[in-house]
């Protein structure tokens, strides 16, 4: 039994070492791309990619683990060893092929191996090889064979030869041995899953640097390929309602209209510090000012004294859709999430990147949970954030929520890191809350106000946000600060079935740098925050085709939202809700339906090209 356990560990470590070797081959093959990196960068690449390597090593170790379960009773000599050798040959050939192809293609495509080469080869083999030079057909196969031989030797000597044969056993001893090996096999699912936290293994795990090259080097190509194959969607052929010309004509009626004479006077400071607070699951129905329940009373009071947009909507229903909507003005999609596709989010423009490159802003993101969840970290790195604070940056004693650190802990971190205002280097800080999420267990005494723990959780986050704003108001930075509070998606409380009501959320602005106050009834959604803010700062928003300046009276104003089977479109004159599964209008004005369909079709055209 001991030999079987040791051999299984040797298999796992050998596969891991094979993938690490693959990273070194990748760097050598792309030396021109990675010129200038040092030894510390290479160590970071290996270290940050290790969990993904462990995951793939776990997948490749499952069959040997099953064979060792059998060998615990029958012994390994004979048929077990023969099957193991054949498997090691197959695995070595596959892994070395993936590494070789990934290393060869990266210099041309600048993204990690996914299903694209397979698609090209299957659809047109001649085109797939058209850009290859003659020496590629010699060096490529040679590297493939050498790596396959090396990996097989590692697996053969570390497993079959190492420790000798596993001896057969009978009776109770055999049963005990098999039981132990079954447990060892089950434990492989921990590295496969990526641990025991909420977040499962995804491409975001390898992202650690603002230098995309280093992140790509850390990504395991076998995992990247597997992930791509399991997340395939032909976006260009989804939601086809109009021919190209007709769709372009309809969508042109929804585009932003330039207005050079616009004078919104939104800000009294040309480059204020900006704090964007993304409120987990909040909705308009928590605010008395918007006709809701008396839950978020402190934020409601802040909204009354600031600028409150009263006809505002969430673009989608999940955080992984909401964050790109807020920070990239990219609408949520009904059938997928762009955040699943790292190669696409790398091509998204972002508010943070525009503020950084054109406004001279420093950028920082605060979140109490796991930043790897749904590839969020990869998106944030690509969005240009200089620093990302997440659960691992808080002491274990402070991670008392299922999601990590509670909201009060996160805001305390933000407060402790406040620095004096510097007009030559203003700050963008995004704070994402998480405590108002199931299981809604919060460290808050509501004095018996709420019988529903969901309402209590929202009241807790409301108090945390208000405490932060109050603290900031008492600091010198206040006069040069703009605070924007907006939910990531529609709320978990109260229970609502009407899509229009569920998607209603507040947009709140406050701070000493805010010169416009009161209420604003213009229809809008999360994607409009970017154009509104950039234009107020004197920065063009041309990179964001779906965003409209809420304060530009010449532009068409509307809200689009998407759930897995439903889309909605809201204007000042009416609204429509359309069911994508049944291809029927659920409610509203049919005259608005072409605009909703055109918006969705244009979104998927854009998604297919990212």
List pLDDT tens digits, range 418-433: 999 999 999 999 999 9
The pLDDT, as a whole number, for residue 472 is 98
Q: Are 387 and 364 in contact (CB under 8 A)?
A: yes
Give me the helices (H) in 30-162, please: 39-74, 79-109, 116-123, 125-128, 136-155
What does DSSP assign to residue 236? G
CA distance linking residue 531 with residue 329, whole number of Å: 8
- Split at pLDDT 50, 70, 90, the class of 23 is very high
What does DSSP assign to residue 337? -
Higher pLDDT, 334 or 123: 334
The pLDDT, as a whole number, for residue 120 is 53
| Average pLDDT for the chain | 91
Q: Are 282 and 296 in contact (CB under 8 A)?
A: yes
The pLDDT, as a whole number, for residue 385 is 97
Q: What are phi and psi of 508, to 5 degrees?
A: -120, 135
The pLDDT, as a whole number, for residue 491 is 81
The pLDDT, as a whole number, for residue 465 is 98
CA distance linking residue 525 with residue 331, whole number of Å: 9
- Split at pLDDT 50, 70, 90, the class of 125 is low
The pLDDT, as a whole number, for residue 415 is 97
Q: What are phi and psi of 299, to 5 degrees?
A: -65, -35
The pLDDT, as a whole number, for residue 468 is 98
pLDDT over 60 at 131, yes or no: no
3-state secondary structure of 441: coil
Q: How far is CA 402 from the centre of its chain?
A: 19
First to last CA, the chain: 52
Residues 551-563 have a mean pLDDT of 94
The pLDDT, as a whole number, for residue 133 is 64
Question: pTM surpassing 0.75?
Answer: yes
For residue 462, which of 273, 288, 267 has the smallest C-alpha distance? 288
What is the β-pairing status of strands 387-389 and 362-367? parallel
- Split at pLDDT 50, 70, 90, the class of 104 is confident
Q: How far is CA 277 from CA 462, 468, 508, 600, in A?
A: 11, 10, 10, 27
Task: Output the DSSP codes for 391-407.
Answer: GGGS-GGG--BTTBS-H
Per-residue pLDDT tens digits for 41-74: 999 999 999 999 999 999 999 999 999 888 887 8
The pLDDT, as a whole number, for residue 132 is 60
Give me the helices (H) in 383-514, please: 407-416, 453-473, 499-502
Tokens 């009978």 locate to 170
Per-residue pLDDT tens digits for 280-305: 999 999 999 999 999 999 999 999 99
Partnered with residue 484 across adjacent β-strands are 276, 509
CA distance linking residue 192 with residue 264, whole number of Å: 53
Per-residue pLDDT tens digits for 434-455: 999 888 999 999 999 999 999 9
pLDDT over 70 at 126, yes or no: no
pLDDT over 80 at 259, yes or no: no
For residue 247, which of 598, 545, 544 has the smallest C-alpha distance? 598
pLDDT over 80 at 562, yes or no: yes
Per-residue pLDDT tens digits for 154-193: 999 988 877 777 778 777 777 887 788 888 889 999 999 9
Cis bond leading into 439, ω under 30°?
yes
The pLDDT, as a whole number, for residue 249 is 97
Residues 521-547 have a mean pLDDT of 96
Higher pLDDT, 306 or 119: 306
Question: What are the tokens at 39?
Answer: 């030894």
CA distance linking residue 406 with residue 443, whole number of Å: 8
CA distance linking residue 450 with residue 360, whole number of Å: 45
């Amino acid at each position: 039994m001991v030999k079987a356990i040791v051999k299984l560990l040797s298999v796992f470590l050998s596969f891991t070492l094979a993938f690490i070797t693959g990273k070194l081959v990748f760097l050598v093959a792309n030396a021109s791309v990675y010129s200038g990196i040092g030894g510390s960068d290479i160590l970071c690449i290996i270290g940050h990619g290790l969990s993904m390597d462990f995951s793939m090593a776990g997948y490749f170790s499952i069959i040997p683990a099953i064979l060792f379960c059998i060998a615990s009773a029958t012994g390994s000599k004979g048929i077990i060893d023969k099957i193991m050798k054949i498997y090691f040959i197959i695995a070595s050939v596959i892994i070395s092929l993936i590494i070789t192809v990934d290393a060869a293609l990266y210099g041309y495509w600048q993204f990690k191996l996914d299903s694209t080469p397979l698609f090209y080869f299957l659809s047109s083999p001649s085109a797939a090889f058209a850009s290859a030079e003659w020496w590629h057909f010699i060096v490529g196969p040679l590297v493939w064979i050498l790596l396959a031989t090396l990996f097989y030797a590692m697996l053969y000597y570390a497993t079959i030869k190492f420790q000798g044969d596993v001896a057969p056993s009978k009776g109770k001893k055999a049963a005990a041995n098999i039981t132990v090996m079954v447990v060892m096999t089950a434990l492989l699912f921990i590295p496969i899953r990526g641990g025991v936290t909420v977040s499962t293994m995804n491409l975001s795990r390898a992202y650690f640097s603002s230098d995309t090259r280093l992140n790509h080097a850390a990504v395991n190509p076998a995992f990247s390929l597997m992930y791509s194959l399991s997340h395939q969607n032909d976006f260009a052929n989804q939601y086809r309602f109009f021919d190209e010309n007709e769709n372009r004509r309809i969508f042109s009626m929804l585009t932003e209209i330039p207005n050079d004479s616009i004078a919104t006077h939104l800000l009294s400071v040309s480059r204020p510090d900006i704090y964007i607070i993304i409120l987990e699951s909040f909705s308009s129905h928590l605010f008395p000012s918007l006709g809701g329940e008396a839950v978020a009373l402190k934020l409601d009071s802040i909204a009354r004294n600031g600028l409150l947009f009263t006809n505002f909507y969430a673009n989608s229903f999940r955080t992984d859709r909401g964050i790109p909507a807020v920070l990239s003005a990219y609408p949520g999609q009904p059938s997928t999430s762009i955040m699943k596709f790292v190669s696409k989010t790398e091509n998204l423009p972002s508010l943070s990147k525009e503020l950084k490159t054109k406004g001279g802003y420093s950028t920082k993101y605060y979140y109490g949970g796991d930043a790897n969840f749904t590839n969020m970290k990869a998106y944030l790195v690509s969005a240009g954030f200089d620093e990302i604070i997440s659960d691992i940056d808080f002491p274990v004693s402070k991670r008392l929520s299922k999601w990590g650190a509670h909201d009060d802990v996160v805001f305390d971190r933000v407060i402790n890191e406040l620095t004096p205002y510097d007009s030559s280097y203003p700050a963008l800080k995004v704070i994402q809350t998480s405590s108002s999420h199931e299981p809604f267990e919060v460290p808050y005494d509501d004095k018996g106000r709420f019988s529903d723990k969901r309402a209590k959780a929202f009241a807790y986050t409301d108090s945390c946000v208000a405490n932060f704003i109050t603290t900031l108001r008492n600091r010198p930075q206040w006069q040069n600060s703009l605070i924007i509070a907006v939910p990531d998606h529609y709320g978990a409380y109260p229970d609502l079935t009407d899509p229009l009501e569920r998607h209603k959320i507040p947009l709140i602005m406050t701070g000493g740098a805010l010169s416009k106050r009161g209420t604003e009834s213009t229809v809008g959604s999360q994607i409009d925050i970017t154009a509104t803010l950039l234009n107020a700062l004197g920065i063009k928003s041309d990179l964001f085709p779906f965003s409209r300046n809420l304060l530009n009276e010449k532009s068409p104003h509307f809200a689009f939202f998407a759930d897995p089977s439903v889309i909605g479109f809201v204007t000042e004159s009416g609204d429509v809700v359309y069911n994508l599964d049944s291809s029927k209008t659920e409610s509203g004005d049919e005259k608005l339906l072409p605009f909703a369909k055109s918006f969705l079709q244009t979104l998927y055209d854009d998604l297919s090209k990212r």
